[in-house]
Amino acid sequence: MFELVLMVPEPAVEAVSEALDALEALSVSVEDADALTPAESALFGEPGMPPPKEGWQRSRVVALFSEEASAREAARLLEPQAFFAGCKILGIQTVAEQDWVRLTQSQFEPVEITPSFWIVPTWHEPPAAALQVIRLDPGLAFGTGTHPTTRMCLRWTAQRDQTGRRVLDYGCGSGILAIGAAKFGARDIVAVDIDTAAVEATRLNAAANHVALQAGLPDLASGVFDLVLANILATPLKVLAPLLCAHVAESGGQLVLAGILARQADELRDAYAPWVTLAVSDESEGWILMTAVKS
C-alpha cells in the first residue's frame, strides 16, 4: 500500500477529497496538520449547531493507493487543477505491513463499570475482580462501554435491583444496556432501534452473553415497562419525550436518559416536565445522566 500525502487549505478539502475518490483512492483521511501543537483546533458537530467544516485551516490529506504508480498518477493529475491552488504535495510513502486485526484489538481493553462489573472483549480474560461480565467486541453499532454515557447507564443499572423487571432499551445500538439489565435480573426485555444493523448486533450480542431479549424496530415496543433506558442524544430525546414517558409504568416506573451534555440539562427538564420530573443522577466528562420516577 502507498500513501499520497497532501497539505490542503480548508476551502479546498472537499474538492480534493472528491477528486481523490474519483481517482480510485482506497481511502481518504483528513487530519489537522497542526495537531499536538499550540495551533491545534477542534471541529465538533452537535445537534442544533452549525455543521463542522470539511477540514482545518491547514489540513493534512492522506490518500491510500494499492500501487505506487497509481499514487504518482493521482499527484500528477491533481497538480494542474484550479481547485488545487494553494495545495502542496508532501510526498508518497510506503505503508508498513501490519497485523490490522491485532492492532485493532490492542486498542480495546476491558472497561470497568463498577469494581465487580466489567465490559470485556472476547480476546481478553476477565479481570480477577469481575463478578459480572458483558462480553462485547467493537462492531457496527454504537455502544462498547467506552463512552461516558454508556458507562453511566450501566453503572446506574448495576447499582439497583432489576430482578424480574420489564425493561425497554430504546435506541439500543449494540444492545449493551439491555444486556446489562438482563445480567442484573431483568427478565422481560425489549430492545429497539431504527437501524436494522443495530437490531442484528443486539441479537448477536445477547446470544453471545447468554441472555434472552426481544430486539426489533421501534414498533416492537408496546405497553409499559418498569424501566425505560434511552442513550441517544438530547435533540431526539426531546422529540421522543411523550413516547418514552408513555412507556414508563405508573406508580414507580423509572426513566433513565443519556447522551445529554451538562449544558442541556434545563432543555431536557422542560421537555419532560408535562410527564415526569427529571434530575441529574450522574456526570462524567461533560455528559450527564438524567433520571425520573413516575408517580
Each residue's pLDDT tens digit, 32-73: 887 777 776 666 555 455 555 667 888 999 999 999 999 999
Q: Give the model's confidence band at 102: pLDDT under 50 very low, under 70 low, under 90 confident, else very high.
A: low
Would you call 286 exposed, middle or buried from its count of C-beta atoms within 10 A (0-12, 13-18, 19+)? exposed
Q: Give the model's confidence band at 287: pLDDT under 50 very low, under 70 low, under 90 confident, else very high.
A: very high
Instruction: List the single range of 85-99, 137-151, 194-208, 253-267 with lowest mean pLDDT.
Output: 137-151
DSSP secondary structure string for all residues of 173-222: TTSHHHHHHHHTT--EEEEE-S-HHHHHHHHHHHHHTT---EEESGGG--
**Rounded (10°) CA dihedral 85, 88, 94, 100:** -70
Each residue's pLDDT tens digit, 216-256: 999 999 999 999 999 999 999 999 999 999 999 999 999 99
Rounded Cα–Cα distance for residues 87 and 12 (Å): 8
Q: Select the more confidently predicted residue: 100 or 247.
A: 247
Strand partners, 175: none
Amino acid 57: pLDDT: 82
Each residue's pLDDT tens digit, 120-167: 988 889 999 999 999 988 765 566 778 999 999 999 999 999 999 999
Q: Give the model's confidence band at 108: pLDDT under 50 very low, under 70 low, under 90 confident, else very high.
A: confident
Percent of residues, the chain, with pLDDT higher than 90: 78
Question: Can you tell me the mean pLDDT for 10-25?
Answer: 94
